[in-house]
Amino acid sequence: MSNAPIAVNAKGLTRHFDHGRVKAVDVLDLEIAAGEFVAIKGPSGCGKSTLLNLLTAIDRPDGGSLHVFERNIRDLDAAGADAYRSNDVGLVFQLHNLLPHLTAIENVQLPMMGRKNAKPNERAAELLTRVGLEARINALPTTLSGGERQRVAVARALANQPRLLLADEPTGALDSQTGAALIDLFVELQRALGTTLVMVTHDERVAERANRVVNMLDGKVVG
């Protein structure tokens, strides 16, 4: 670990389902430095996605503590969690999850809606240019390729300049060539913006590019 400030600090983090029978995240300890690119690996059902949900505050832990940039995520109320997701976190899903009836540029503007002093149009166009889609800003998701959709999703995740970028198997639904290009894009953006990147993945190529690989098994960090 470097001496950089701590981005994520989880201690004894626990999330159980089905009355404790399913221990998705089980007394997990994890520390991620700001600006670090961490790949989280592990077999299916080991709790990777649940951990990501806890980090985005769309799910709440049953026990332990979770601090992101020194903010106690566990104690956030509903409005606080909304604000946290809007201001501090960018999320990229395995499936692009773009709204099909909105164009690329409109999808990227979604997280910026209602924010004061935002110039959503300019910012969205700038982000789409950055991910190489300046030519497709007015395209609907249905007219984009899988890789292009994920690029739009990345641009959307970066809309509010988050300090923490979370990606849940973003290359899972892409062919290897497109997946490789997307990883390149993530790495390039993470380095250029200094964003902390946590990527859940099965993809060995991601592990090779990450600063650190965290292996999970049965809800715990095992290496």
Partner 1 sequence: MTEKYICAVDVRHVRNWIDYVLLYFDVSYAIRFSNSSGSTLKPANPPPLTKANGRKAAIIKEAMKPPPPLSLTRITARNLYRQPVRTLLTAFGVAIGVSAIVALGAVSRGLRGSIDNALNIDSADLMVFQAGIAADLFSNLDEADTRKKFADFPEIRSATAGITHIVRFDEQYLIVVGLYPNEFADVTTSLVEGRAFESKDEIVIGSEFQRRMKFAVGDEIEISGATYRITGVIETGVVFFDSGVVMHIDLVRGFRGWSDGVTNFSLRLVEGSDPDAVIEQIETTYPELAVIARAEQYGKIDQGLAASDNMVWVISALALVIGCLVVGNTMWMSVSQRTREIGILRAIGWSRKRVMGIIICESIGIGAVGCVLGFAMGFGLSEATRVMQDVQSFVDPDYSILIFGRALVVAILLSVLGSLPPAIKSARISPAEALRYE
The contact set with partner 1 (CB under 8 A) reads 53, 56, 58-59, 78-79, 82-83, 85-87, 89, 91, 93, 97, 99, 101-103, 105-106, 109-111, 113-114, 120-122, 124-126, 129, 131-139, 156-157, 160, 177-178, 180-181, 184-185, 188
CB of 75 or CB of 134, closer to partner 1? 134
DSSP 113: T
* CA proximity to 92, closest of 10, 176, 30, 162: 162
168 Cβ contact partners less than 8 Å away, ≥ 6 residues apart: 48, 49, 52, 91, 92, 93, 94, 200
Q: How far is the CB of 61 from partner 1 (least distance, A)?
A: 12
Q: How far is the CB of 174 from partner 1 (least distance, A)?
A: 12
DSSP E strands, 86-180: 89-92, 164-168
CB of 72 or CB of 87, closer to partner 1? 87
Q: How far is the CB of 15 from partner 1 (least distance, A)?
A: 10
Q: How far is the CB of 127 from partner 1 (least distance, A)?
A: 11
Q: Which residue has the tokens 């806890």?
A: 54
CB of 3 or CB of 44, closer to partner 1? 44
**What are the tokens at 193?**
């913006």
- Contact of 13 with 65, CB cutoff 8 Å: yes
CB of 33 or CB of 118, closer to partner 1? 118
Q: How far is the CB of 188 from partner 1 (least distance, A)?
A: 6
φ, ψ (nearest 5 deg) of residue 27? 50, 60
The whole-angstrom separation of Cα 100 and Cα 127 is 19
Q: How far is the CB of 41 from partner 1 (least distance, A)?
A: 21
* CA proximity to 223, closest of 67, 29, 52, 13: 29
The whole-angstrom separation of Cα 173 and Cα 190 is 21
CB of 110 or CB of 213, closer to partner 1? 110
CB of 119 or CB of 212, closer to partner 1? 119
Q: Helical H runs in 97-145?
A: 104-109, 120-130
